[in-house]
Chain A
Amino acid sequence: MQNFFDKHGKLLKNGSFVAMIGIPFLLYFAAMNDATALVYALLGAMGLSMLVAMKVG
């Protein structure tokens, strides 16, 4: 696992940054359209990008 993070750290870091910026736009439109299930899924994705940031940020 650690090898994976070492090998792809830069990509994961850039990816988590892009996700942190991009996912809230989807969250906003899901929340405005009362798509509750999608909001939960996207909050999960946001959490995942934060987890990655905690590992490689």
Chain B
Amino acid sequence: MTDLLLVKWLLAFSPIAVVLILMIGFHWGGGRAGAAGWFTALIVAVLFFGADATLLAFAQMKGVLLSLYVLYIIWMALVLYNVVDETGAIEVIGSGIKQLTADKPFQLLILGWVFASFLQGVAGFGVPIAVVGPLLLGMGFPPLVAVAVPAIGHSWSVTYGDMASSFQAMIAVTGLSGEYLAHWASVFLGITVFMCGLAVVHVYGGFKAIRRSLVAIVIIGSVMAATQYALATNGLWTLAGFVAGMVGIVASILVSRLPMYRNTNGGTEEAPSTDGPKMSLTFALSAYIILIAIVAPAEIIGPLHKFLGSVKLSLMFPEITTSQGWVNAAGLGKKISVFGHAGALLLYTSVLSYFVYASRGYYKEGALGRIWAKTVKSGVSTSIGIVSMVCFALMMSQSGMTNLLAEGISTVFGEAYPLVAGAIGTLGAFMTGSNTNSNVVFAQLQMNTAEIAALSVPVILAAQTTGGSIGSMLAPAKILVGCSTVGLSGKEGPVLARTLTYGLIMTAIIGVLAFLNAAG
């Protein structure tokens, strides 16, 4: 690269660098850092990449369409989680699971690996750590283990969790089909399932605990990885994380019957609940059974899928070119299916679930108001982060900055590029606190780089999103949430150090797998 190109490459990288420095060095949240990245991208795009006001205007609109596509899922997932949580059902599910066995490493696997992944499947945004951390602490695990275990344990399910919002974001940003991307993403994430299980017990008891739990990890991990693969590669990626977690819970119950893990407490389905009526574990799970009953037919039955997808919103964009000759072709922006989108399916589930729980009197007075308040409280901060980051990512791609970054990386790394593809995804999640944001910021860059270097695009993007998934165990934002729930506020460093070791090993393994499979 010539000096001038190097300077321009550094300028193109500057918005990402600003976000990294502010989030890691100054502990800013995603919303604040994303806004700073937006300003940096705007200035660099105008001064050094020839973007004019019209290009910037279209980039904002494309960014908002993309954001709305992802936010529709995120907000409705939050509504569903709060509809369930308000009844005390999440507590009932957690208590029911922890009574299955007295074996400590197996308890960690069930709660920190399987249940946390199930929670990621239905909610995400730090909920697995926030819910499981206090449960583990209450069972007598040290605070550091109580936070680190769910942080590590749930990370494999982040890409397909929360109605696959991270995977959907990758589809939206790259413009590639989910069917094309699902195979390799599911293979890499499937391998990550086992790595997370091994790491969870290693955190607690080292290799001795791994030897004791190996049978459980192999059986439950195989069931979860196979379920995730089967659903994702058959077009049901929105259900892949959540159903894999649910099937993992069933597998855990069966494995707990094995003599080596058998319960000495005497498991029961009933669990202590709040002041209201007692709830069975089966009834507590009813919202998620309804979710499957709604999503599966909506995705599988062709005429129904077509009918629900009949109303789509989008906008047409004309061709626009920067003064330096970078051309953005004319075309439609991201299409949003109003009634068939994953967010709409979550909304139907939330409404039905509310009436099911209400029919048994599980809601106290003012429940709807509390559900709404909790949803807004969690949703606005996340949404500001997503909108600002998506808009700056769009400014970068529309002004040719992303392409220049890809060309530079491809030139420097050449055929060894797949080795760092996973690390880029991990870095993105670490800096933004989210696999979704990592995919939004880096997926297009990874795709362009793979194309330039004649490497397999789905393999590189699988490494990107798997790295992003793993990176969520390192995200300071999530560690902060976990530490605050177990009384470790201000002591996040040791937890991060612990998760960092496992995260880096897993990322390196994914890099090697990508390297072995990416030759175009």
Contacts and interface: CB of A to CB of B under 8 A. Distances in A.
A40 B61 contact: no
Contact of B29 (A24, A31, A57): A57
Contacts of A16: 384
B381 interface: yes
A20 B54 contact: no
Given A24-B60, A51-B35, A54-B32, A17 B53 contact: no
Given A20-B387, A24-B63, A28-B61, A57 B39 contact: no
Given A13-B380, A36-B53, A43-B53, A31 B388 contact: no
Contact of A50 (B29, B38, B67, B381): B38
B53 A54 contact: no
B32 A27 contact: no
A14 B42 CA distance: 23
Contacts of B384: 13, 16-17, 20, 53, 57
Contact of B387 (A17, A43, A55): A17
- Tell which of B29, B54, B67, B376 has the most Cβ of chain A within 10 Å: B54
Contacts of B56: 43
Interface string B391-420: 100000000000000000000000000000
A25 interface: yes
Contacts of A55: 32
Q: Give the interface size bracket for B toward A.
A: 20 to 34
A57 B57 contact: no
A53 B383 CA distance: 11
A39 B32 contact: no
B132 interface: no
Contacts of B479: none
B61 A57 contact: no
A24 B61 contact: yes
B57 A39 contact: yes
B128 interface: no
B67 A57 contact: no
Contact of B61 (A14, A27, A36, A53): A27
B31 interface: yes
B57 A27 contact: yes
A50 B61 contact: no
A40 B60 CA distance: 13
B13 interface: no
A44 B91 CA distance: 47
11 contacts: A13-B380, A17-B380, A20-B64, A20-B384, A24-B57, A25-B61, A39-B53, A43-B56, A53-B32, A54-B35, A57-B29
Given A24-B391, A27-B61, 14 more contacts: A20-B64, A24-B63, A25-B61, A28-B57, A30-B57, A31-B53, A39-B53, A43-B56, A50-B35, A50-B388, A53-B32, A54-B35, A57-B384, A57-B388
Interface of A: 13-14, 16-17, 20-21, 23-25, 27-28, 30-32, 36, 39-40, 42-43, 46-47, 50-51, 53-55, 57
| 3 tightest Cβ-Cβ pairs between the two chains A and B | A57-B31, A31-B57, A24-B60
